[in-house]
Every structure is written in C-alpha cells, then in structure tokens.
Amino acid sequence: MEKAAFKLNNYQFPKATIDFTKAEEKNEIELQFAPEGQFEKDKRLFRLHFSVRICLNNSEEPAMEVHCVAEYSFQNEIEFADIPPYFYSNSIAILFPYVRAFISNLSLQANFPPMILPTMNLSDLGEKLKAHTQAI
C-alpha cells in the first residue's frame, strides 16, 4: 500500500472571541479542544475545523475561544476509509503551532500579557478527529 502524501494548503481563523474581564495577574489555564473534519474525495481535500476553548482560574466561561479551519490536500486519489490513522493526529500537530501563535498574538494585541500555550502532545486528539470526520 502506498503512503498517503498530504500537505497543508492554507488555514484561517474565521472566529475568535476574548473576554479577559476575569483575568488575574497569574492565571491557571484550562484548555479544551474540539476537532472536526470534512473529506471531499473528488477534490482530494480534507478540512480540519479546530476549536480551542481557554478557561481561566476554574471559570466555566471561556476567556478565549478560537476557531481555525485548515485545508489539506492529498497528492493522490484516496478513499475516505483509506485515510491513514497517522493523518488525523499529524494534521492537528502541523496546525497547532499556528494556533498557539495566534492565541499569543491576540492576547498581546488586547494589551494583556501574551497567553502562551505550552507545547503539547496532541496525538490523542487524532482519534477524536477521526470519530468526528465525515465524507461530503
């Protein structure tokens, strides 16, 4: 079986919200991730919808929510069922540095100390993405 070659074509942040009214000098950060995918076989495209929700200091209300949409293309034709398992976790790993940078810049531009997310192993999100992917 030939390996599935893919590349990141582009990404955008169509939605971002901030509410730092409850932010403190030192904040405990809780992160929640919500990945979803859409696969278009005829175009060999995969759209990753990746949402990050950041709550501060055990608050139920998010201080920041960011939604990113990334588009990946496969080099060769591929069936939905043949997308290899590593694609799901790797697509998130490729996108995450851009999301981290956006969150830091957004908080900095709001004139707050930059919210710097730690580097993280997000490989467990691959299964979640696979479960929330549909062929369209």
The string of pLDDT tens digits covering residues 99-133 is: 999 999 999 999 988 899 988 999 999 999 999 99
**110 lies in which domain range?**
6-135
- Check the CA dihedral 58-62-63-67 and report its sign: positive
- The rounded mean pLDDT for the chain is 93
Question: How many domains does the chain divide into?
Answer: 1
Q: Which CATH number covers residue 63?
A: 3.10.420.10
The candidate with the shortest Cα–Cα distance to 31, out of 125, 126, 134, is 125
- Global pTM value: 0.91
Strand partners, 7: 73
Asked, for residue 123, whether it belongs to a domain, the answer is: yes
Asked, for residue 1, whether it belongs to a domain, the answer is: no
The string of pLDDT tens digits covering residues 89-98 is: 999 999 999 9
